[in-house]
Homo-oligomer: A and B are copies of this chain.
Amino acid sequence: MLVALVGIGKIALDQHVPAIAGSPDWELAATVSRHGSVEGVEAWDDFTAMLEARPDIRVVSLCLPPVPRFAYAAEAIRAGRHVMLEKPPGATLSECHALQDMAREMRVSLFATWHSREADKVDAARGWLSDKTLRRLTVTWKEDVRRWHPGQAWIWEPGGLGVFDPGINALSIVTKILPKPIHLSGAVLKFPENRQTPIAADLAFAHPDGAEVTADFDWRQEGDQIWTIEAETEAGTLVLSDGGARMTVDGAEAGTEEDAPLSGEYPRLYAAMARLVRDGASDVDLAPMRHVADAFTLGRREIVAPFEE
């Protein structure tokens, strides 16, 4: 299938382009970007013009930041194209609902992707937890914003989500691996004095069986970077680390290779998109984004030291 990639920035070049190149399902037929391009691929800067000139490209993959994304997604759907959205699927929950309605009406596939859900051991963790009684779940997601988001000014602007930009990856895994739904019961959001989005957040969730569920997101981490989810159950403790790439149960490596047939998060996302288009289906799970919106709504705001890149 032919796909057009819109928004040629870091995530597109690091992840989307190689995943498309390595897939038997896909061919990168065009890029749309003001600045970026991909060698050997037809490059556009006018999205409307691309849609009109290339009716043969039935699928559009959007890697723009969340705030401008809606207008592109809406235009693509109205033009009858299937649409794949980077995470988070939009700047607001309401616009995601609107896109769902539009996709249904236009009978196209809409895929709100959560790349971290495709990390190697996430399915195995889900399987292991499915029949266990959870006592405690602790998310620790601490990284250095200077290292992972150099020059990305939009992450500090309203709608850029701040530390929830990586944190929502953790929430996308948690909402996939837990068999029962949780909801936020309290949060503290730490806003740098000179920024519009939080640099750190502590979250507490209510669990139907009373398990203690917490998350600690921090963008001020120097040295070792930590992306870990620890689940203590009555039958042992599962640790998912490196963002879902590694898994141990009671300290021993777990999660066999059969759990992860295709290699890599983005190759799996593109394989899933190919299936959705073939099946005429959509996949839009807004749960991770709802938890983030809940944190902004219910969270206690604290002002912390200014952040300068």
Residue of B184, B187, B293 near A297 (CB, 8 A) is: B293
Residues of chain B with a CB closer than 8 A to A287's CB: 94
A206 at the interface (CB under 8 A from B): yes
Q: What is the oligomeric copy number?
A: 2
In Å, the complex CA distance between A306 and B196 comes to 20
Pick out which of these stretches binds chain B: A12-20, A22-30, A95-103, A216-224.
A95-103
- B93 A93 Cβ-Cβ under 8 A: yes
Which of B92, B93, B161, B301 makes the CB contact (< 8 A) with A191?
Answer: B301
User: Would you give the shortest CB distance from A194 to chain B, in whole angstroms?
Assistant: 12
A88 to B192, CA, bound (A): 30
In the complex formed, the residue of B with least CB distance to A93 is: B290
In the complex, A143 Cα to B28 Cα: how many Å?
55
Contact of A183 among B92, B161, B292, B299 (CB under 8 A): B92
**Closest B-chain residue to A67, C-beta based?**
B298
Which residues of B are found within 8 Å of A161, using beta-carbon distances? 297
Question: 1/0 per residue A177-202: CB within 8 Å of B?
Answer: 00001111011000100001000000
**Complex Cα gap A181–B98 (Å):** 7
Task: Pick the residue among B94, B187, B208, B296 that contacts A181 (CB under 8 A).
Answer: B94
Q: Which of B94, B183, B298 contacts A158 (CB 8 A)?
A: B298
Docked CA distance A60–B300 (Å):
31
- Minimum distance in angstroms from A154 CB to a CB of chain B: 12
Q: What 0/1 readout, one digit per residue, does chain A (50-92) give for beta carbons within 8 Å of chain B? A: 0000000000000000010010000000000000000000011
- B294 and A92 within 8 A (CB): yes
| Contact, CB under 8 Å: A92 / B298 | yes
Are A183 and B70 touching (Cβ within 8 A)?
Answer: yes
A293 to B67, CA, bound (A): 16
12 contacts between A and B (CB under 8 A): A91-B298, A93-B293, A94-B183, A94-B290, A97-B183, A98-B208, A101-B181, A159-B298, A191-B301, A196-B301, A293-B293, A301-B301
Which residues from chain A sit less than 8 Å from chain B, CB to CB? 67, 70, 91-95, 97-98, 101, 158-159, 161, 181-184, 186-187, 191, 196, 206, 208, 287, 290-294, 296-301
| Other A-B pairs, 7, CB within 8 Å; known A94-B181, A94-B183 | A67-B298, A70-B183, A92-B298, A94-B287, A94-B290, A98-B181, A297-B297
Cβ-closest 10 pairs across A and B:
A94-B183, A92-B294, A293-B293, A95-B183, A296-B296, A296-B297, A159-B298, A158-B300, A293-B297, A93-B290
